[in-house]
Amino acid sequence: MRALTVHGPGDVRVVDMPDPRPDDGEVLLAVEWGGLCGSDLSYWRHGASGTARLRRPMVLGHEVAGSVVATGRGVSGIPLGLRAAVHPATPSHEPLPPRLAGRTNLHAEVRYLGSAAFDPHTDGGFAELLRVRVDQLRPLPPEVTTRHGALAEPLGVALHAVRRAGGLNGREVLVNGCGPIGALIVAAARHEGAGRIIVCDLARGAVEVARRMGADEVRVLGEDDELPEDVEVTFEASGSPAALRGVLRATARGGTIVQVGNLPGTAAESVLGDLVTRELTWVGAYRFVDEITEAIDAMGAGLDVSPVITHEFDLDQAGEALAVAADRASGASKVMLRVRTTSPSEETTSHPGRDLPAKE
């Protein structure tokens, strides 16, 4: 099989690897689509993602979907051809303290597809064949293609962030940072009944994607627009410490900020005084528990996530795909990899490596 591997900064290769065989309780998934994530870009650019550093080559990718082509011993009720997305997490078996009951994303050790956080690394899903435990499979309804199914993981991240804010029904929302996660937060907030949604970013292309995802008002920072004032709930999705002062000031007194963008793991200067004087609630949102399942249900019920997909590439074009995804001037939001040829019903009219037409 072919797989996309990262060997160090700037060094990704599509290599031939032995076909895996499913073990007891596992299935073999023919991966059809994958979505590039910020962590994939970081491994490619820096040989690291946060505190996780590459020690040896690793298969990238954790946003994937495909079809079951083989089952291991002891697997029943999983038909060949089943179309599914993959929950990429494997939490440790250590029990959580009672205060964290059910919050499996907060285990001290969680292995994640395509992650170098532990040694040996956990190979990811940008491979033509992927061994998956049965409990990681998330079947897709007929209405959800594997192309969209690969978005279930980042949409799960967005839904988890929305839940961390509490109920959004009728509440005014600000999303600062309109990369793929910010754009999907817009869709998730709209799905959860938010009232007016305002989005802000430095890039006009990014806010336009967010508009197509359901934002009511877009602001391009650094041109003529500034952050709004007195918004009840803010999602900070840029991960920039420099943005925090403005975001705290934009949030209404007594309001809530959900920090979704990854902040640096090293010292960074920021102004946080308004956190106290405005008595704000500032909470973090990390990955998700099982909101990936809710994401699939939402897409099956009609939640349209297609505007976030701006580019598609074949697996052999992965280097170009990474470069486009990392270039803010490219207008890229979610960049998709066609890992292997899909069934005719899943094919799109776009061409690999070309911009997709904007949704009308």
b/e burial code for range 275-288 (CB count within 10 A of at least 16 → b): eeeeebebeebebb
| pLDDT surpasses 90 at 354 | no
Q: Which residues pair with 278 in a beta bridge?
A: none
Sign of the Cα torsion 122, 127, 129, 133 reads positive
User: Residue 266's pLDDT is what?
Assistant: 79
User: Residue 269's pLDDT is what?
Assistant: 85
| pLDDT tens digits along 165-183 | 999 999 999 999 999 999 9
Domains and CATH numbers, the chain: 2-151+305-346 (3.90.180.10), 155-284 (3.40.50.720)
| pLDDT surpasses 90 at 267 | no
Q: How confident is the model at residue 265 (pLDDT cuts 50, 70, 90)?
A: confident
Residues 11/16/18/20 CA torsion (nearest 10 deg): 70
User: Residue 32's pLDDT is what?
Assistant: 98
> With left for phi above 0 and alpha for psi between -120 and 50, is residue 3 left, alpha or beta?
beta
Q: How confident is the model at residue 347 (pLDDT cuts 50, 70, 90)?
A: very low
| pLDDT tens digits along 282-309 | 999 999 999 999 999 999 999 999 999 9
Q: How confident is the model at residue 342 (pLDDT cuts 50, 70, 90)?
A: low
Q: How confident is the model at residue 244 (pLDDT cuts 50, 70, 90)?
A: very high
**What mean pLDDT is predicted for residues 191-213?**
97
* Rounded distance between C-alpha atoms, residue 91 and residue 31, angstroms: 23
Both tokens assigned to 210: 């967010």
User: Residue 245's pLDDT is what?
Assistant: 94
* Rounded distance between C-alpha atoms, residue 37 and residue 29, angstroms: 20
| pLDDT surpasses 90 at 43 | yes
User: Residue 318's pLDDT is what?
Assistant: 97
**What mean pLDDT is predicted for residues 13-39?**
97
Three-state SS across the chain? CEEEEEEECCEEEEEECCCCCCCCCEEEEEEEEEECCHHHHHHHHHCEECCEECCCCEECCCEEEEEEEEECCCCCCCCCCCEEEECCEEECCCCCCHHHCCCHHHCCCEEECCECCCCCCECCCCECEEEEEHHHEEECCCCCCHHHHCCHHHHHHHHHHHHHCCCCCCCCEEEECCCHHHHHHHHHHHHCCCCCEEEEECCHHHHHHHHHCCCCEEEEECCCECCCCCEEEEEECCCCHHHHHHHHHHEEEEEEEEECCCCCCCCCCCCCCHHHHCCCEEEECCCCCCHHHHHHHHHHCCCCCHHHEEEEEEHHHHHHHHHHHHCHHHCCCEEEEECCCCCHHHCCCCCCCCECCCCC
Q: What contacts 277, CB < 8 A, 6 or more positions away? A: none
User: Residue 268's pLDDT is what?
Assistant: 84
| pLDDT tens digits along 70-112 | 999 999 999 999 999 999 999 988 899 999 999 999 999 999 9
User: Residue 289's pLDDT is what?
Assistant: 95
The pTM is what?
0.93
Mean pLDDT (the chain) is: 93
| pLDDT surpasses 90 at 313 | yes
* Rounded distance between C-alpha atoms, residue 111 and residue 87, angstroms: 11
| pLDDT surpasses 60 at 50 | yes
